[in-house]
Amino acid sequence: MHYYRYSNVEVSCWYKYLLFSYNIVFWLAGVAFLAAGLWAWSEKGVLSDLTKVTGLHGLDPVVLVLLVGIVMFTLGFAGCVGALRENICLLKLFFFYSFFLLELAASVLAFLFQDWVRDRVKEFFENNIKSYRDDIDLQNLIDSLQKINHCCGAQGPDDWDFNIYFNCSSESKSREKCGVPFSCCIPDPA
């Protein structure tokens, strides 16, 4: 097996040891989770009689702690060794699985708090619709999103009533009163 070494240092020592110190903390946290899980199983008597693991009818929370510990231990170890040895394969493994776990955690949290997320997203879109004409970059972004997705507003065309230029109230002096932006319109194929 051939190992390729570079003639000059590819990674700054500062970054190398910063990444190592971060990973050592991550690795030690994994060891702590593993230790806590094994301690909890020993208190339950599972370690003395492993048949108790299969006798559980529900999910034992200790299994979750042990799984988190194993994943953190493995990722921390891969990150530490990868940083010290400048092993690209281990560093790629560390970063790939770290981002994968972050995405997994974000999706689980979004699922658990979906009502809260839905309210924040709706509030975000309503605020952007209100300030549609205030910023040309925001206007171009909303127009392109509406054209690409063949939609109008966040929930529907009625959302444009939040904007003072498209509102149907009698105070509005805009030419676009009671309308929607052109990006909401379906283009005539002829």
Domain boundaries in the chain?
Answer: 13-51+58-86, 127-184
CA pair distance 72, 12, nearest whole angstrom: 25
pTM assigned to the model: 0.48
- What pLDDT score does 53 carry? 63
CA pair distance 35, 65, nearest whole angstrom: 10
Per-residue pLDDT averaged across 24-38, rounded? Answer: 90
Q: What is the pLDDT of residues 161-175, one digit of tens each?
A: 888 888 887 677 778
Q: What is the SS3 assignment for 6? A: coil
Q: What is the SS3 assignment for 73? A: helix
- What pLDDT score does 5 carry? 59
What band does 59 get if pLDDT is binned at 50, 70 and 90?
Answer: low
- What pLDDT score does 35 carry? 93
What band does 44 get if pLDDT is binned at 50, 70 and 90?
Answer: confident
What band does 51 get if pLDDT is binned at 50, 70 and 90?
Answer: low
Question: Phi/psi of residue 57, each to 5°?
Answer: -90, -25
- What pLDDT score does 156 carry? 85
Per-residue pLDDT averaged across 72-79, rounded? Answer: 86
End-to-end CA distance of the chain: 66
Phi-psi region of 172 (alpha: psi -120 to 50; beta: other; left: phi over 0): beta
What secondary structure, in 3-state letters, does 29-64 show? HHHHHHHHHHHHHHHHCCCCCCHHHHHCCCCCHHHH
- What pLDDT score does 173 carry? 74
Q: What is the pLDDT of residues 96-146, one digit of tens each?
A: 887 888 888 888 888 888 898 888 888 888 888 888 887 778 888 888 888
